[in-house]
């Protein structure tokens, strides 16, 4: 164990999927043995797209249960809910005042989500439909910034600043994330340096931590886009709460490439993605998988992949179901009490530096 700190989180904005697990949570489990680890359920981020309040509560608790079932140990790591520590929003405001609009305009996630942000929708499917429309529309629409800004909410535009505040509040050294979040970590680094330069040394400049093979799990229905909670179709992702029948149905429907050979190649992006998932859950190399399915077709390979996923998900879900809401809320409460002390001290320092009377 070194004395460096890691911080990371997942938005309870839908059903957490195997991309969230492989790209983020699985790495956290290993990293908690090496670092002082803080993991957050980032509900303030989740409301940057429309949420049903009752669903949001359920998904917040479910996300924390997923952390625990995945192996995050509350004796080693601190787990809490972002909105329980108001310093996140408070620091985000200060950082807003040193963030240039141009910094935010570069963020691709804003562009992806901006067109659904203003819609009053209350189901994941509806959000998905709007999202897919936005994919086609945004190139056209983004020629006209005025129309985008008049339609989208400021929270979505500013959310990378809140993410920077999450990270900087805890003097985080390392942020384990999927590749899609690299741009946001870069902004956190920029803001830490900018604040330190302007007001004096205050924040640690964090480093991203990316696990190469699983840094981007792609959608099962479209290997050109990442697997996403808010995807148009449930056939985009395998949720960590999917039952066996659902997993088998989704894998059966997953798109494949032309030809029938099981080969790991950039020329076959859909199959490459499925093999990446297979490797991650089985521990086998892609060469071993190619050998296993030599002379066999996609149907055999998909059956094998579904078996591997079910074998992982069954005990995972049993662990999740064995944790009561009361238990998880107790752990989250304790976690909040612990991080509050760190957050309060850092916030006091930042406030003094900018000239507030504390």
Contact with ligand AQP (CB under 6 A) among 5, 6, 14, 248: 14
Nearest to 87 by CA among 28, 35, 44: 44
Contact with ligand AQP (CB under 6 A) among 5, 6, 11, 248: 11
- Nearest-angstrom CA–CA distance, 97 and 94: 5
**Considering the complex, what minimum distance in angstroms separates the CB of residue 14 from ligand AQP?**
6
For ligand AQP, which is the closer residue by CB, 56 or 98?
56
Q: State the maximum Cα–Cα separation within the chain, in Å, rounded to a whole number.
A: 73
Residues 145-184, interacting with ligand AQP (CB under 6 A): 177-178, 180-181
- CA angle, 7 as apex, 3 and 8 as ends, to 5°? 150
Give catalytic status of residue 272 as yes or no. no
- Please give the residue whose beta carbon sits closest to ligand AQP in the complex: 23
**Considering the complex, what minimum distance in angstroms separates the CB of residue 28 from ligand AQP?**
9
Instruction: For 24-42, give the DSSP string.
Output: IIHHHHHHTTTSEEEEEE-
CA dihedral 283, 284, 286, 288 (to 10 degrees): 180
Using DSSP's 3-state secondary structure scheme, residue 97 falls into coil
For ligand AQP, which is the closer residue by CB, 51 or 195?
51
Site string for ligand AQP, 23-62 (x = CB under 6 A): xx--------------------------------------
Residues 214-273, interacting with ligand AQP (CB under 6 A): 216-217, 226-230
**Considering the complex, what minimum distance in angstroms separates the CB of residue 8 from ligand AQP?**
6
**Considering the complex, what minimum distance in angstroms separates the CB of residue 230 from ligand AQP?**
3
Q: CA 295 from chain center: how many Å?
A: 37
> Is-contact 137 119, C-beta < 8 A?
no
**Considering the complex, what minimum distance in angstroms separates the CB of residue 244 from ligand AQP?**
22
Residue 307 — left, alpha, or beta (φ > 0 → left; ψ -120 to 50 → alpha)? alpha
**Considering the complex, what minimum distance in angstroms separates the CB of residue 47 from ligand AQP?**
11
Contact with ligand AQP (CB under 6 A) among 5, 7, 10, 309: 10
> Is-contact 78 84, C-beta < 8 A?
no
- Nearest-angstrom CA–CA distance, 321 and 62: 10
- Nearest-angstrom CA–CA distance, 15 and 18: 10
Give catalytic status of residue 57 as yes or no. no
Q: CA 296 from chain center: how many Å?
A: 35
For ligand AQP, which is the closer residue by CB, 51 or 350?
51
For ligand AQP, which is the closer residue by CB, 44 or 148?
44
Give catalytic status of residue 111 as yes or no. no
Q: CA 120 from chain center: how many Å?
A: 23
Which residues are at the interface with ligand AQP (CB under 6 A)? 10-11, 13-14, 19-20, 22-24, 177-178, 180-181, 216-217, 226-230
Query: Which sequence positions are flagged as catalytic?
Result: 113, 226, 229
């Amino acid at each position: 164990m070194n004395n460096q700190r890691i911080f990371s989180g997942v938005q309870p904005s839908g059903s957490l999927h195997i991309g969230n697990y492989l790209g983020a949570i699985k790495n956290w489990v290993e990293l908690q043995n090496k670092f002082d680890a803080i993991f957050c359920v980032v509900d303030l981020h989740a409301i940057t797209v429309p949420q049903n309040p009752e669903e949001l509560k359920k998904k917040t608790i479910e996300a924390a249960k997923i952390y625990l079932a995945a192996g995050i140990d509350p004796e080693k790591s601190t787990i809490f809910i972002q909105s329980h520590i108001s310093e996140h929003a408070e620091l985000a405001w200060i950082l807003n005042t040193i963030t240039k609009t141009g910094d935010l305009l570069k963020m691709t996630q804003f562009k992806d989500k901006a067109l659904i942000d203003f819609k009053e929708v209350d189901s994941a499917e509806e959000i998905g439909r709007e999202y897919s429309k936005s994919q086609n529309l945004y190139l056209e629409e983004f020629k006209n910034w005025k129309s985008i800004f008049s339609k989208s909410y400021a929270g979505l535009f500013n959310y990378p600043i809140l993410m920077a505040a999450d990270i900087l509040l805890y003097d985080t050294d390392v942020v384990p994330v999927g590749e899609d979040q690299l741009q946001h970590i870069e902004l956190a680094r920029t803001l830490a340096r900018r604040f330190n330069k302007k007001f004096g040394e205050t924040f640690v400049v964090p480093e991203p931590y990316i696990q190469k093979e699983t840094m981007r799990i792609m959608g099962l229905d479209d290997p050109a886009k990442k697997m996403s909670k808010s995807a148009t179709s449930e056939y985009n992702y395998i949720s960590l709460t999917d039952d066996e029948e659902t997993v088998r149905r989704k894998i059966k429907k997953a798109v494949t490439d032309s030809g029938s050979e099981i080969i790991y190649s950039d020329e076959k992006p859909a199959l490459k993605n499925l093999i990446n998932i297979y490797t991650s859950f089985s521990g086998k190399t892609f060469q071993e998988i190619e050998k296993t399915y030599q002379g066999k077709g996609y149907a055999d390979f998909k059956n094998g992949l579904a078996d591997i996923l079910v074998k992982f998900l069954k005990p995972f879900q049993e662990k999740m179901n064995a944790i009561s809401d009361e238990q998880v809320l107790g752990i989250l409460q304790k976690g909040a009490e612990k991080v509050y002390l760190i957050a309060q001290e850092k916030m006091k320092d930042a406030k003094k530096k900018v000239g507030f009377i504390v």
